[in-house]
Structure 1
C-alpha cells in the first residue's frame, strides 16, 4: 500500500516552529513530495496556492491573525485542506466550513495525516 500522502505537495500554515517541523516530517514520512511551511499569511500572499499545492494544513490563527479568509480562498479554488488548531471554536468552523475537518492540538500525527488524506480523497473517513 502506498503512503497516504504519496507525491502530494502540501502547504502547512503553522506559526509554532516545533509543531511546523513535526508536521513537515510527518508529511514526508507519509510520502509527501514537497512540504512548504508558512508561518505568516504574508509569506504566501501573491502565490498561486491552487497551482502550487495539492492540499493544505491550516492553523486557525497565525500570530494572532485569523486564517478563515485564507481558508475560504482555498475552498473557492478547490484546494482540499484541514484545520489544525489549539483553538477549539469548532462551532464556527462547522458552520462556515461544513465538511472540513478540525484536528485539535495536541493531535496525533496519524489523525492529522488521515484527515488530510481523506480531504484529498484518499483513505476512508471515520
Structure 2
C-alpha cells in the first residue's frame, strides 16, 4: 500500500475531525505528495479542486449538506474520486454516479486507498 498514491495530490472532504486526520495520514503513508482536508464545501472552490488535485475522497454529507453537486462538478472536469460515507441510502449515489466507488464507513484504510488508486488508474487509462 506504500506507493499506491505515489506523488498524487489528494483532496479529502470530511467533516469528522478524527476521520479526516486518519484519512490524511493514510494518503501520506501511501505516497501522496499532498493532502488537503476540507471540512465544509465553503472551504474549497470546485474549480480549484478540478485544477489542483489528482483525486478526491468525498463524504456524501458534510455537516448536513450534500456534496453530490460538488462531486458532479469535479466529475465533469475529469477528477477521479471515491465516495467515503456512512450514508445508508446509496441508491441515489449509484444511479447518479455509475462507476464511482463507494467505500462505506467504517472502512479499512487499505480499501479506501485501493479505491482511490483504482479511480485514478481508470482516469489515466481513459475508462
Give the TM-score normalised by the residue count of structure 1: 0.93
**Residues 1:85 and 2:85 are matched in the alignment:** yes
Deviations 1:83-102 (A, max 9, x none): 00001222111100000000
Instruction: Give 5+ residue unaligned stretches, structure 1.
Output: none
Where 2:23 maps in the other structure, the secondary structure is helix
TM superposition shift of 1:45: 2.6
Aligned residues of 2:46 and 2:73 also touching (Cα < 8 A) = no
CA distance in 2, matches of 1:94, 1:119: 15
How far apart, CA to CA, are the structure 1 residues paired with 2:94 and 2:80? 16
Superposition RMSD on alpha carbons, in Å?
1.5
Normalised to the residue count of structure 2, the TM-score between the two structures is 0.92
User: What is the aligned partner in structure 2 of residue 66 from structure 1?
Assistant: 66
Q: How many residues align structurally? A: 122
Alignment-derived partner of residue 34 in structure 2: 34
**Structure 2 CA distance, aligned partners of 1:113 and 1:88?**
21
